[in-house]
Amino acid sequence: MNNKKPFLFDLTLKEITEIITDLGEPAYRAKQVWEQLYDKVTPSIEAMNGLPKSLREKLSAAADISHLHPEVDLKSSDTHTRKILFSLPDGAEVETVLMGYHTRRTACISTQAGCALGCTFCATGQGGLQRNITSGEIVEQVIFFERELRKNNEKLTNLVFMGMGEPFANYKEVMKAVDTLTDPDGFNFGARRITISTVGIVPYIEKFALEESQVNLAVSLHAATDELRETMLPVNKRYPIDVLIKACRNYIYKTNRRVSFEWALIDNVNDTPEQAKALARILKGMLCHVNFIPLNPTTGYEGHESKQRRIQAFRNILDEAGIPNTLRIRRGIDINAGCGQLKHAVHNNS
């Protein structure tokens, strides 16, 4: 693939219009291309049947419609989870997960190829960062699974930017992707059905608070004291808990929107009564919700998921403090598709 050609999913409607007119075609054709990309989710330029063949040929020579090449396609034994490893034109790799629930179809989207933040229990962090990916490479993950679902008369209902990478470390491209996906004249995905997760990059939480966006914010917390959190999430040394929680409270004040806190329960590490009490203390009075999930196993981390009695004791302390919380179901563990299990070298899993 010639990676120097413009990538259609990277482009705004205005930029596609410029390409179309440069090809000697009328400007209105650009809107037709836009509809083929985002309304009809057409898989190739050649298949854009609403366009003249001559335009399709010229557009194919001038632009790319895909950067994602499926390398490994895995389905979990419960049949509700599917994970695909995609290679990108330069050899970088990302994984994307589709999760099925009773009425929801949720895509877990990667925002970087790898991750530089080094969270100890996360396979992506253990592998390091390859590169930031473009807004179009983020968008195409969504379109790919929407296309797959439509084959069964289904559609995506929710998007979570919780795959590989730290979304706020690639802030500009992530927000551009959100703009593209929520464009009412394009894919028209509801912003309130999108969640962006961060480990706590405070300046970008503050920036996000000013966006006036309806997109949901989730923060990967995992510990309620600096001493413990620094051993798990190195970013805590730069943005300690008091600074992070202050930024979250400020976000809530400015947006009047709830913050979700993510917490992977690790046996005898962060599932203690002391951590539960500390968590209840720092979240007191906050418009928030805590999502618990038992730790998913990775080869680079020796910890184990919490036992049910420890989980229940932990949650009881939060319940007594009036902190809303939910215990999430682990999904796709057998294909390493769970939270913290995504990485860019899974060929041996196929």
- Residues with catalytic function: 95, 339
158: Cβ contacts below 8 Å, ≥ 6 apart: 104, 105, 106, 107, 193, 194, 195
Spell out the long-range contacts of 306-313 with Cβ–Cβ below 8 A and sequence spacing 24 or more.
Answer: 306/265, 306/266, 306/267, 306/271, 307/267, 310/265, 310/267, 310/268, 310/271, 311/265, 311/271, 313/273, 313/276
Contact 29/115 with Cβ under 8 angstroms? no
Q: How many CB atoms lie within 10 A of CB 40?
A: 15
Structure tokens that stand for 151 in this block: 């084959």
Q: State the pairing for strand pair 105-108/158-161.
A: parallel
Structure tokens that stand for 123 in this block: 């396979």
Q: What is the DSSP letter of 329?
A: P
Contact 294/264 with Cβ under 8 angstroms? yes
Q: What is the DSSP letter of 20?
A: H
Q: How far apart, in whole angstroms, are the C-alpha atoms of residue 41 and residue 154? A: 13
Tell me the CB-side half-sphere exposure of residue 194, using CA atoms within 13 A: 21
Burial 279-290 (b: 16+ CB within 10 A, else e): bbebbeeebbeb
Tell me the CB-side half-sphere exposure of residue 210, using CA atoms within 13 A: 5
Structure tokens that stand for 244 in this block: 């992070």
Contact 84/73 with Cβ under 8 angstroms? yes
- Going by C-alpha positions, the residue among 46, 36, 94 that lies closest to residue 69 is 94
